[in-house]
Structure 1
Amino acid sequence: MALSASAKENLSRLFPGDPSPLWDSDPEFMELFTNFALGEVVDQGSLDEQTRMMAVLAALLGCQGVSEYREQLPAALRAGVTPAQAKEVLYQAVAYLGLGRVRPFFDAANQVLQEQGVSLPLAPGSTTTAETRLTAGNQAQVDIFGEGMRGFQDSGPEESRHINRWLADNCFGDYYTRKGLDYRQREMITFCFLAAQGGCEPQLVSHAGANLKIGNDKAFLIQIISQCLPYIGYPRSLNALRCVNEAAQAAQ
């Protein structure tokens, strides 16, 4: 099997330099996968390359693909993802995956960025303080999910109300208010985190609905799923598609 023209062009542009060792040990597989992931899949739809690569990075975080993340991050930087955007994807992943699963990706990202000549740490990206994070976080929830989220931090049974507060001040107040990514980009990567890790279908439906509400329409989300599919597999991709359909039906 020879590489298609599209796969060959994308491979040489995004992955210049020494080829993966898999080309020596598993050339037949690499031709098959490259033709699919960098040819057929990339040619599907009309996502800009920066968005596509940001989605792939988020999906790899979600599925714990740290070795592939290390391979893909330099390609993402070549595709226009800035170091600040790459770091924001990494930071926000902690809210949805937990530091226990994200910690190895910090090492991978820092190594790649330093190899690319990026000076660390990057400039601070926070826009909130200890005094403003709760109010700003709840406003972000309202901006994304709608007015029904107003005062969410004070809702629910008293014994678990602190978790709703943490969702407002930590998940949204600490992360969604940061510089580097807008709400549409943040909800897109959240969708990828949830789709790729699996077992979060209720939250995936909710965030698919949030994406639809802020302008990431159904066609866009299907393109995102399509670009992530080679890295997370068919079962989780099909689950994500079902969740998008469910959210779109509820939004009618």
Structure 2
Amino acid sequence: MRITEAAKQYYEKMFPGYESKFLETDPEFIERFDNFAFDVVVNQDDLDDRTRLMAILSVLIGCQGIDEFRAMLPAALNFGVTPVEAKEIVYQSVPYLGIGRVFPFLHAVNEILTARGVELPLPGQATTTMETRLEAGIQAQVDIFGESMQEFWKSGPEESKHINHWLAANCFGDYYTRQGLDYKQREMITFCFLLAQGGCEPQLISHAAANIRLGNDKSFLIKVISQCLPFIGYPRSLNALRCVNEATVK
């Protein structure tokens, strides 16, 4: 078994002093995975470690990788992701995955932060109230997607237009308006939630375009996809790449 020095060094940065049990039980597998994920992939581009780990946490929520999320959250914290940012990643995932799929991750982040001596609850990050969230959510939609979203909240057939209202008030007014992450970070992690769960290609194209509009350009999104590939596999990574290409030509 030969794990490269670069992979060993990166692994040590993520998990100081920890030695994987797979070295004993699955040595051939871990050689290839670690060499690929922690040498080839991390040295493919110049995405910084903190952003890389925020993206990885997000795709792990998106693909329901709870065990790997538990493993990677301490690495993210070691790379400078703050407890507030970690919590905001989990909160932001709720409107895109639903509480049924996010609940285990909320428990995991609480357990890991508590074990590291972080006092909960963390300082509040909300900037809206139940009375102001709709107006603030509409403005967030306009800021992210453009002026065409100004009236979107009241559009649609009578029997379902309430969902567009909820999208503005709840998804954007309750979550995007929170402090702790800015719009560019929230759009990046939303892109990750969508690409990792699959079956959301129309929304993925829309959010790829929103990322690009905010300054997370095509090159950046390809870097994000590349760094997440070992954690979500090739099919969803290639689908995401196609969606980015479609968003670019629109």
Letter in 2 for 1:107: H
What SS does the corresponding residue of 2:125 show, helix, strand or coil?
Answer: coil
Q: Which moved more, 1:20-29 or 1:44-53?
A: 20-29
CA RMSD for the aligned pairs?
Answer: 0.8
Letter in 1 for 2:134: L
Offset at residue 16 of structure 1 (A): 1.6
Matched, 1:36 2:36: yes
- Quote the residue 2:24 is aligned against: 24
Structure 1 residues 1-252: aligned runs within 5 Å: 1-250=1-250
Offset at residue 76 of structure 1 (A): 0.2
Structure 2 residue runs of 5 or longer lacking an equivalent are none
Letter in 1 for 2:60: L
Rounded to whole Å, the distance in 2 between the matches of 1:81 and 1:183 is 16
Count of aligned pairs: 250
Rounded to whole Å, the distance in 1 between the matches of 2:226 and 2:103 is 27
Letter in 2 for 1:89: I
Letter in 2 for 1:152: F
Offset at residue 17 of structure 1 (A): 2.8
Letter in 2 for 1:109: V
Rounded to whole Å, the distance in 2 between the matches of 1:81 and 1:157 is 42
Q: TM-score, normalised by structure 1?
A: 0.98
Rounded to whole Å, the distance in 1 between the matches of 2:172 and 2:123 is 20
Structure 1 residue runs of 5 or longer lacking an equivalent are none
Offset at residue 52 of structure 1 (A): 0.5
Letter in 2 for 1:9: Q
Rounded to whole Å, the distance in 2 between the matches of 1:18 and 1:229 is 24
Offset at residue 19 of structure 1 (A): 1.9
Letter in 2 for 1:73: L
Rounded to whole Å, the distance in 2 between the matches of 1:25 and 1:102 is 31
Letter in 2 for 1:229: L
Identity, in percent, stands at 65
Offset at residue 207 of structure 1 (A): 0.3
Letter in 1 for 2:69: Y
What SS does the corresponding residue of 2:86 show, helix, strand or coil?
Answer: helix
Q: Which moved more, 1:16-25 or 1:51-60?
A: 16-25
Q: TM-score, normalised by structure 2?
A: 0.98
Q: Which moved more, 1:166-175 or 1:152-161?
A: 152-161
Cα offsets for 1:145-203 (capped at 9, x unmatched):
00000021111111111100110000000000001000000000000000000000000
Cα offsets for 1:53-74 (capped at 9, x unmatched):
0000000000000000000000
Letter in 1 for 2:120: L
Structure 1 runs of 4+ aligned residues shifted over 3 Å read none
Offset at residue 4 of structure 1 (A): 1.6
